[in-house]
Amino acid sequence: MPGAEALASLFAQHNAPALATLIRILGDFDLAEDSLQEAWLSAARAWDSGIPASPIAWLVTTARRKALDRLRRDASGTRKLAEAARSMPTFAEDQFELDPEVIRDDRLRLIFTCCHPALTLEARIALTLRTLGGLTTAEIARAFLADESTIAQRIVRAKRKIRDANIPYRVPEAHELPDRLPGVLAVVYLIFNEGYSSTSHESIVRRDLCSEAIRLGRVVVELMPDEPEAIALLALMLLQDSRSAARQNASGEMVLLENQDRALWNRAEITEGISLVERALRMQMPGPYQYQAAIAAVHADAARPEETRWDEIAALYGRLAEELPTPVVQLNEAVAIAMAQGPQAGLDLMRPIVGLEDYYLFHAARADLLRRLDRLPEAHAAYELALSFATNPAEQRFLRRRLEETSL
């Protein structure tokens, strides 16, 4: 029997593609998941004498047999049994072969189904992590500090919505992609952001979620290699993730970008990220993720804080604001201009921004610029506002220290 570590590696590599194909064949999320789980149990025993040439095809064949056996035992499964029995012309059961293009298409179908706009955002995230990430319900609940029953209900409701609303299990047509792809990328980036800037976990960075989001990003790029925004999102996550080890000190306090030990930055991720940015930009189809990735690349390119090209970053934020005119982007542009032209210039640009009254980073950014101008009472008041909205313990500790430093 393969060791636990070997099986875990095989699971991570082959479970999602096998599940995607089974969902197409069986037309039922739960039946596909249950039968695939049984197939893995069989694999743990059968693969003791060697891993098959095509593990995905072996799993799909075995799981399909188990699903058909289950449907035969279930009188209510007669219709599904007939449908499933007709739906497997792809490969002969004794040959264990499966066309790579079929696997690719099935994975794309699964991605777009899990991220369908008819589902709530919370359901999309949970279903994506469950089916594409292979995480258990308990693991998803722990990742988002949620009750396991809540996550289970989200997944159940999502599957029911897909069934009852007849959400098509297919890749969107070419003319639909501009509307549908951003939703997929948004789900992946939300998973990454919860890992990179955890809202309530003790640590700022959740390595498990960051790694899973990057893995999902790689899957999307592998399946859609000509989509510059997908490439740029992967680049952005790698470049941001490269700073993870330097974002918190030994005492658990947040470390600002300008104070980070850049020797701790992951150079392999930076090199790959910059290469991906360049690849996306060469396609000459600019988009929001490309501008954000380009900004992250400029930061990563600076060996020392004082070498950061803030004028270039401010210009990129200006372009991003044209594509994505949100208050958060306006705030980031104001901060970049403050670093390029001085704190007062940034404060002037922050003054008219609305919609960030409950956003702790807005108040923290104002406080920092006021502190740099030696306007300590105003800075202290802004830090107090920031602390009232911050939820991460590490960020709260940082803000309390700033409050002490600005006390008169």
Chain CA centroid to CA 261, Å: 26
Q: What pTM does this model have?
A: 0.84
What CA–CA distance (Å, rounded) separates 349 from 362? 12
Number of other CB atoms surrounding residue 271 within 10 Å: 13
Please tell me whether residues 127 and 234 are part of one structural domain.
no
Q: Is residue 60 part of a domain?
A: yes
Please tell me whether residues 195 and 107 are part of one structural domain.
yes
Instruction: Point out which residues pair with 37 in neighbouring strands.
Output: none
**Planar angle of CA 391, 392, 398, nearest 5 degrees:** 110
Mark which of 98, 117, 140 sits at the end of a domain.
98
Please tell me whether residues 183 and 230 are part of one structural domain.
no
Please tell me whether residues 237 and 207 are part of one structural domain.
no
pLDDT score at 27: 87
- Listed residue (307, 306, 354) closest to 330, CA to CA: 354
Please tell me whether residues 122 and 200 are part of one structural domain.
yes
- Indicate which CATH number applies to the domain containing 45: 1.10.1740
Q: Which residue has the higher pLDDT, 255 or 8?
A: 255
Rounded mean pLDDT of 223-234?
96
Please tell me whether residues 215 and 105 are part of one structural domain.
yes
Cα-Cα-Cα-Cα dihedral sign, residues 295, 296, 297, 303: positive
Residues of the domain holding 398? 357-408
Least confident of 81-85, 102-106, 359-363: 81-85
Backbone dihedral region for residue 355 (phi beyond 0: left; psi -120 to 50: alpha; all else: beta): left
Per-residue pLDDT tens digits for 10-38: 888 889 999 999 999 888 899 999 999 99
Please tell me whether residues 155 and 185 are part of one structural domain.
yes
Beta strands in 23-86 (DSSP E): none
Please tell me whether residues 141 and 232 are part of one structural domain.
no
Between 100-114 and 121-131, two packed helices, what is the crossing angle to 10 degrees? 150
Question: Based on the structure, what is the number of domains in the chain?
Answer: 4
- Between the alpha carbon of residue 257 and those of residues 214, 306, 317, 401, the distances in Å are 21, 12, 17, 17
Residue 171 token pair: 């890749």
Q: Is residue 327 part of a domain?
A: no
Between 121-131 and 4-26, two packed helices, what is the crossing angle to 10 degrees? 120
Residue 204 token pair: 């700022």
Q: How confident is the model at residue 177 (pLDDT cuts 50, 70, 90)?
A: confident
